[in-house]
Amino acid sequence: MARSHLRNGVLNARFTIEQLDTSLAGHERAGLARRLLGTVVLTLRLGAKLIVTPPALVHLHSSSGASFYQKALLQLICRLLGSKTVFHIHGGGFIDFYRSSHVKPLIRLLLRRSSRVVVVAHWLREFLLASCALHAEVIPNWPAEPFFRGQADPGNNEKILFVGELTVNKGLPVLLEAVTQLRAKGIDNPVLIAGGQSGPGERTAAERKIANMDLDGVKILHDAGPEEIRGALEEAAVFVLPSLIEALPVALLEAMAVGVPAVVSRVGGTGEAVTDGVEGYLTAPGDSAALAEGLTTLLQDPQLRRAMGARAREKAAGEFNPDSCGRKLADIYRSLLED
């Protein structure tokens, strides 16, 4: 999501924005030693930046676990050297991370050290208020502007599209089980799986599972970038994302912007994007039968797909528009800079 901020026209028109990349190279998950080394390097780079050309404001993007502590450390350095901070929580696993932590007071203290806390959905703001007595601003994720220029005709399209990492948390095994149930009903729509930032090992495991389940018409699209994803959405009948954990998935918002109805798990903020039966269907996480049922209903009714897709596009334009979200974030920046 940080890349969306860097490309946001409203933010770039009002502020000079520079990026310090805190990600680790490569698709594989970094081990503890590598994370610690990376944090030390980042700390030194950030400290040098703050001393040489101190920014007035630092916006830190965090999920949970090691990412949270890494960004919290960087935030403390920013605050000690006089910069104001925005601590932006994106991770769908933050609630579980907090509840299972043995250092909850430390987490609360670290969050309160920020000049402002921002979250991507109301469910997370309500949790922080109830559990941490902490007020957070809600600014949702948003699709990149080119997705609003594309438009699907889901009533004429046939493909089922999944966009996300090829992992259990994104619900890939649930999707494959649902496809098995569709095939048993004689529904043979092609399924395109865009694997996002999945590593080679995850792709190989997914391909092996598809082959073992003898699923015809299921294809994995490797290394798909934004243009490939937008093209795939324009050819999709239904978008599907049966995640077990989410905050507010950008892939879902991209599908809505292009005008594709969705069948997604009711986790995190998905229920704030999709109203069940309006822009698509919400299912219980892990429920492959409900997922197959929602897909069946849409795949057998072209007019329903078209109507839900139109409502999804309208909602994306109204609530997840890059300009309106950028203005909300710009207002936060401005209020902190003027304080």
Give CB contacts under 8 A, 24+ apart, made by 176-180: 176/209, 176/210, 176/213, 176/215, 176/218, 177/288, 178/240, 178/242, 178/288, 178/289, 178/291, 178/292, 178/295, 179/215, 179/218, 179/292, 180/213, 180/215
Give CB contacts under 8 A, 24+ apart, made by 263-267: 263/238, 263/239, 263/291, 263/294, 263/295, 263/298, 264/239, 264/240, 265/171, 265/241, 267/92, 267/243
| CA 200 – CA 42 distance, rounded (Å) | 27
Instruction: Say which CATH number the domain at 173 has.
Output: 3.40.50.2000
Same domain, 222 and 244: yes
Above 90 in pLDDT, residue 31? Answer: no
Same domain, 191 and 138: no
Same domain, 223 and 313: yes
Least confident of 1-5, 26-30, 66-70, 103-107: 26-30
Same domain, 310 and 334: no
Same domain, 104 and 167: no
Owner of token pair 């139109």: 310
- The pTM of the full predicted model, rounded to 2 decimals, is 0.91
Above 90 in pLDDT, residue 44? Answer: no
Same domain, 134 and 198: no
Q: How many domains does the chain have?
A: 2
Same domain, 326 and 313: no
What mean pLDDT do residues 9-24 have?
81
Same domain, 172 and 78: no
Same domain, 170 and 90: no
| CA 263 – CA 265 distance, rounded (Å) | 7
pLDDT at 30: 53
Range of the domain at 87: 2-142+322-338
Higher-confidence position of 127 and 55: 127
Same domain, 228 and 284: yes
Least confident of 46-50, 123-127, 263-267: 46-50
Higher-confidence position of 204 and 283: 283
Same domain, 108 and 168: no
pLDDT at 41: 76
Same domain, 64 and 156: no
pLDDT digits (tens, 9 = 90+) for 109-159: 999 999 999 999 999 999 999 999 999 999 999 999 999 998 999 999 999
Contact 297, 118 (CB under 8 A): no
